[in-house]
Amino acid sequence: MIMDENDQPHIKDRSVGRRKDDFGTREKLQKHHRLFNVGQVITSEMNLNDLFEVIMDQTNQMMGSQRSTVFLYDEKSNELWSLVATGMGRNEIRIPSAFGVAGWVFQNKTALTINDAYHDPRFWSEVDKKSGFRTENIVCVPLVNRRGDCIGALQALNKNPGGVFSEDDVELLTLMSHYVAIALENSKLYEEVKDFSERLRKTLIHIETLEKVKSQLTKFVPMSVAKLVEQDPDKATLEKVPADVTILFLDIQGFSLITANCDQRLVNDMVESHFSRYLECVRRHGGEVNEVAGDGLMVIFKDGESLSHAREAVSAALEIVEENGELNEKLPYPWGRVDLHLGINSGNAWVGSTKMRSLTGERWTYTASGMVTVLAARIGALSGETRLYIGSQTYERIRNHFDCVFIGRHELHNVKEPAAIYRVMNSKS
């Protein structure tokens, strides 16, 4: 194809136009590439303190500005605040949420460009006075989160070198603000999660401490008291109330002589070994150890109906007899066998706290008081050689379930009438 000389200028004009278009396209691609990289840098920082500095640095690089500021809205104080403004150090800036260019942008959710700051009534010069920096021109855009709420403002100050901000700068800063808003929201969530985790950690430590205290105190506090306090600490008055109970008393026969004539460490080892096994029997049957006195235990059974807790008490005592026999075979001691006094009685008692006052303060004990307790102790004292003796009230409740032998009516210390005593041999089942 042969071209006329008149066509040459037109071809040249089209080539120049294409080159301009290509240059503009490349410039846009570079700008978006830089923006993408900035977004990655900004959104990768979770710590709020560090995030402020990253935003300021990246904004200055992208916008070619001398200084920049990100303001966040504080709902409680109705203020806009910034942790860091580049070139001003780590100083917190706070302004009323309707003051200055940032306040106007925040309130109106609209971008604003001012190329002669001191001649615009929306500019608030107090920050310049405090910092010694003179603002010439500003571009400021709102920070809007995913819900559409304005959470602050992002501004760049003084275009380098001695330039002014254009519409392209507004568009670029607006695009940056999307990344900034996401990063700030993520940082806020991160700080909230971190704060919640710290509070949770402290709470777990507190709970762990309380559990340790509880585990130690329950060694000395009856389980019923612990349950009452756990259910309602404010109402745990523990006042005594009448209740039908079965009381088990047991102690080591001849303990005074054993203590007087044998090594105390060995005696203590025996008490711990034997009583640990006894307590397992008691717990299995719902008993509650009320008192531990050296070589003796007082146990209260009160859960369920009267027939039920009497059976549980006798079953626990028979298991103790069996455990004691096994321990005597496995653990020989210089004084010979370990034998027990075992006595049980059932009936009505006053169950709850007994408060004793003195000059040094108060002491509370949780117990069952009344004749049922006195008789159980006296019956136990009458027993020996690990025989289980029970009173008539208990016998009437358990006779269909256990083989018992009547051993007569016995005079008991400080009890007016002779008491019918039975020995429990074994369970009928």
Residues 6+ apart with CB under 8 A from 56: 67, 68, 69, 70, 84, 85, 86
How large is the average pLDDT for residues 43-56?
Answer: 72
Q: How many helices (H) and strands (E) does the chain have?
A: 11, 14
pLDDT tens digits along 315-368: 999 999 999 999 988 888 888 889 999 999 999 988 877 666 666 666 666 677
pLDDT reading at 6 higher than 80: no
CATH architecture of 234-427: 2-Layer Sandwich (3.30)
User: Which of 12-16, 49-53, 265-269, 283-287 is predicted least confidently?
Assistant: 12-16
pLDDT tens digits along 182-218: 888 888 888 888 888 888 888 888 778 767 655 655 5
| Domain 32-191 is found in CATH 3.40.50.300 | no
The rounded mean pLDDT for the chain is: 81
- How sure is the predictor about 86, in pLDDT bands with cuts at 50, 70 and 90? very low
How large is the average pLDDT for residues 270-283?
Answer: 87
- Secondary structure (3-state) at 343: strand
pLDDT, position 423:
94
Per-domain residue ranges of the chain = 32-191, 234-427
Q: From 68, 65, 27, 70, select the one nearest 51 (Cα to Cα).
A: 70
Q: What is the DSSP letter of 180?
A: H
Cα 157 from Cα 153, distance rounded (Å)? 13
- How sure is the predictor about 88, in pLDDT bands with cuts at 50, 70 and 90? very low
How large is the average pLDDT for residues 114-122?
Answer: 92
Per-residue b/e over 376-392, b at no fewer than 16 CB within 10 Å? bbbbbebbeebbbbbbb
Cα 76 from Cα 172, distance rounded (Å)? 31
pLDDT reading at 94 higher than 90: no
pLDDT, position 133:
83
User: Which of 81-85, 163-167, 372-376 is predicted least confidently?
Assistant: 81-85
pLDDT, position 228:
57
Q: Does pTM surpass 0.75?
A: no
Residues 6+ apart with CB under 8 A from 393: 345, 346, 347, 372
Residues 6+ apart with CB under 8 A from 425: 402, 403, 404, 405
